[in-house]
């Protein structure tokens, strides 16, 4: 071997690669091949024939097991972060569970590092027994798991044709959340009958605080410490977050450190100047501000075919997600003629309460340009509106929160798919 080659790849020699004993070296080359670097193998003097052998996974031993699993190097899944948020790549995902490392993120002042050994949750105010719980204390209570979505109420963007599901609506994700029911803790501390609201406070630099009706705490609120079978990710609130199924993401306070029981809402920044929506007064006249709009309205979105996919004429399985913060999805309809006619799509089991549901609709595309879209109806009878219906109801200044419009895709004759920008401001 020439000297300069040894310098470039100090741990790999032609001999160790082809000798068969050096599994690690083989693994290295396999990895290199997976990443599309056959040049590296060539560098250490492997012939095209030998390279072909190494490229055949039935001719060389595979990689040994690792400490943790890895995603295939061929799968490029990214959340495309900005400074304040990152979005789930909905167009690349299957089924209903979002892989934890692809859960969307929204941080108002960064991700704090919280030491689980020093973690404390204080519950005080209108309670008989004010209590400080450690993480170990919380884990001693009966634990429950449920699959539910989490969606930011600011989850709608539009404006240009080249927008993917991720860019339009990637601020929603779904996990199996595990923790202790808040109702269990409420009974433990003895919430007084006079308590009607509680304040949840985060232990991050934003010190996020929200007022929440006590009733939600007794209904289905969860003090979550796990996500998809492991401890919460730091991005999702490690070690403990509040999780309010079906309600706007902002209220599911991460890095939760304090709950205070009271008899009125606190009117924090996050429920006055933010997370409120101007609405037009009925019959015109001066508008009002809608405050405490907790529930996420039912929504659906076709995730395939969608930008940037390109399809061929013939049979296409239209796929997407539908969900409602008010309960179960009962029906998803798909239109392949710009909303003139609608067909009922198939719902994939399980159809869970306040959860993303996958829908499918088999369709034969004749190759002519058209528009496809979906609309959902939930168990309260609510049907997903168009953006025009939303604006007509709320007025043009409705802001960016709680927008769940039907989202059409334009299918061009060449098979390319584009978002249909919905200009409304
Ligand atoms: N403490 C704290 N909790 C928080 C936030 C925050 O910045 N700090 N962001 C909120 C917002 S706006 C949303 S949409 C969700 C996002 O949760 P995720 O990052 O786990 O997806 O957390 C909420 N809880
Ligand atoms: Mo949010």
Closest CA to 251 of 295, 289, 186: 295
Residue 2 CB neighbour total at 10 angstroms: 8
Atom in ligand 1 nearest the alpha carbon of residue 203: 1
Closest-approaching ligand to the CA atom of 109? 1
Closest-approaching ligand to the CA atom of 84? 1
In the chain, ranges of CATH 3.90.420.10 domains: 81-275
Residue 106 CB neighbour total at 10 angstroms: 17
pLDDT in tens, 40-58: 656 667 777 777 777 788 9
Strands 256-262 and 120-125: parallel
In the chain, ranges of CATH 2.60.40.650 domains: 299-419
116 has a pLDDT exceeding 70: yes
Strands 241-243 and 277-279: unpaired
Report the distance separating Cα 132 and Cα 395, nearest Å. 46
- Contact by Cβ (8 Å): 105, 85: yes
Q: Which of 250, 276, 294 has most ligand 1 atoms within 8 Å of CB, for mutation? A: 250
- The sign of the CA dihedral 361, 362, 367, 368 is negative
Report the distance separating Cα 338 and Cα 358, nearest Å. 21
Give the pLDDT mean for 282-301: 86
User: SS3 for 420?
Assistant: coil
Closest-approaching ligand to the CA atom of 107? 1
Q: Residues lining ligand 1, judged by CB closer than 6 Å? A: 103-108, 150, 152, 202, 204, 206, 208, 235-236, 249-250, 252-255
First to last CA, the chain: 67
Report the distance separating Cα 74 and Cα 34, nearest Å. 7
Q: Which of 208, 235, 246 has most ligand 1 atoms within 8 Å of CB, for mutation? A: 208
43 CA from centroid of ligand 1 (Å): 48
Structure tokens at 101: 């490392």
Any idea what the Cα angle at residue 142 is, between residues 140 and 143, rounded to 5°? 100
State the CATH architecture for 81-275: Alpha-Beta Complex (3.90)
Pick the residue whose CA is nearest to atom 23 on ligand 1.
250
Closest CA to 43 of 20, 23, 14, 21: 14
Atom in ligand 1 nearest the alpha carbon of residue 204: 1
pTM: 0.89
154 CA from centroid of ligand 1 (Å): 12
> What share of residues in the chain are helix, strand, coil (percent, to 5)?
20, 30, 50
Q: For position 21, what pLDDT does the model report? A: 43
Strands 357-365 and 346-347: antiparallel
User: With bands split at pLDDT 50, 70 and 90, how would you rate the model's confidence at 150?
Assistant: very high
The domain 299-419 is placed in CATH, from the list 3.30.497.10, 3.40.50.1240, 3.40.50.300, 2.60.40.650, at 2.60.40.650
339 has a pLDDT exceeding 60: yes
pLDDT in tens, 166-210: 999 999 999 999 999 999 999 999 999 999 999 999 999 999 999
**Length of the chain (residues):** 425
Q: Which of 79, 84, 87, 108 has most ligand 1 atoms within 8 Å of CB, for mutation? A: 108
Q: For position 394, what pLDDT does the model report? A: 86
């Amino acid at each position: 071997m020439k000297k300069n080659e040894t310098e470039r790849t100090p741990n790999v020699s032609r001999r160790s690669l082809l000798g068969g004993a050096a599994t690690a070296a083989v693994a290295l080359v396999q990895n290199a091949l997976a990443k599309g670097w056959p040049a590296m193998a060539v560098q250490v003097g492997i012939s095209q024939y030998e390279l072909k052998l190494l490229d055949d996974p039935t001719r060389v031993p595979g990689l040994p097991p690792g400490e943790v699993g890895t995603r295939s190097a061929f799968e490029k899944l990214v959340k495309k972060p900005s400074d304040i948020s990152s979005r789930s790549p909905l167009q690349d995902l299957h089924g209903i569970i979002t892989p934890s490392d692809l859960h969307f993120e929204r941080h108002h002042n960064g991700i704090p590092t919280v030491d689980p050994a020093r973690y404390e949750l204080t519950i005080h105010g209108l309670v008989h027994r004010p209590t400080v719980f450690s993480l170990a204390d919380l884990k001693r209570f009966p634990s429950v798991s449920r699959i539910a979505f989490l969606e930011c109420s600011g989850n709608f963007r539009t404006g240009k044709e080249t927008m993917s599901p991720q860019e339009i609506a990637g601020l929603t994700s779904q996990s199996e959340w595990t923790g202790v029911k808040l109702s269990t803790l409420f009974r433990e501390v003895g919430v007084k009958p006079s308590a009607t609201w509680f304040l949840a406070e985060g232990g991050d630099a934003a010190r996020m605080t929200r007022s929440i009706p006590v009733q939600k705490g007794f209904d289905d609120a969860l003090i979550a410490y796990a996500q998809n079978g492991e401890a919460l990710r730091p991005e999702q609130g490690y070690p403990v977050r509040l999780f309010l199924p079906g309600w706007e993401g902002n209220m599911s306070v991460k890095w939760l450190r304090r709950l205070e029981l009271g008899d009125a809402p606190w009117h924090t920044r996050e429920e006055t100047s933010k997370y409120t929506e101007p609405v037009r007064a009925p019959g015109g006249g001066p508008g009002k501000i809608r405050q405490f709009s907790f529930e996420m309205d039912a929504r659906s979105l076709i995730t395939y075919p969608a930008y940037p996919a390109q399809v061929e004429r013939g049979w296409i399985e239209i796929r997407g997600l539908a969900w409602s913060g008010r309960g179960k999805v009962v029906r998803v309809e798909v239109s392949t003629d710009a909303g003139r006619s609608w067909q009922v799509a198939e719902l994939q089991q399980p159809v869970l309460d306040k959860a993303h549901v996958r829908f499918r609709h088999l369709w034969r595309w004749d190759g002519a340009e058209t528009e496809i879209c979906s609309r959902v109806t939930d168990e309260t009878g609510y049907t997903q509106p168009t953006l025009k219906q939303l604006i007509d109801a709320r007025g043009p200044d409705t802001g960016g929160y709680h927008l769940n419009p039907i989202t059409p895709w334009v299918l061009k004759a060449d098979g390319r798919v584009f978002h249909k920008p919905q200009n409304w401001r």
